[in-house]
Amino acid sequence: MCAYAYGSESLGIRGKPVKPGKKDIAIQCKISGRQLEELQKHTWQMCEAFGLDTKIDNYKGVRPISFYSWDLDCLLDVLDMTLNDAKEYPDKQDEGYIQLHKLYVSLKHDYKETYEN
């Protein structure tokens, strides 16, 4: 599961760092193996998310990665669209689909637990 953290920077408009506020909470989780491979296939859909695509592309799965609520909003939307795309995953029994769906469920649970309570 994921943990909570404060800190970390994302790149904003014109490549300048955007610093989260004092009350912004990050969720930290470790994504590796097939889940990471499948997630990295879809980062091109996150190109408007202030560096989220690059952050995930560069992530190696060794240490936990931090996501803020705005990162997770984008990430969950992309995963939802991808998992419901019959062209992307025509076989719902495919290992890639199963692993990406597990990641989606886990991130969505952590999002609700952290930001909706």
pLDDT at 7: 43
Buried b / exposed e along 55-65 (16+ C-beta atoms within 10 A): bbeebeeeebb
Sort 92 into a burial class: Cβ within 10 Å, 0-12 / 13-18 / 19+: exposed
Give the chain's domain count.
1
CA dihedral 60, 112, 114, 77 (to 10 degrees): 40
Q: What is the pLDDT along the chain (117 residues), one digit of tens a residue?
A: 444 343 444 555 555 656 788 888 999 999 999 999 999 999 998 877 778 999 999 999 999 999 999 999 999 999 999 999 999 999 999 999 999 999 999 999 999 999 987
Domain residue limits at 43: 3-115
Phi, psi at 47, each rounded to 5°: -65, -20
pLDDT at 46: 87
Distance of CA 12 to the CA centre of its chain: 17
Angle, CA of 96, 41 and 28, to the nearest 5°: 85
pLDDT at 20: 80
pLDDT at 6: 39
Prediction pTM value: 0.81
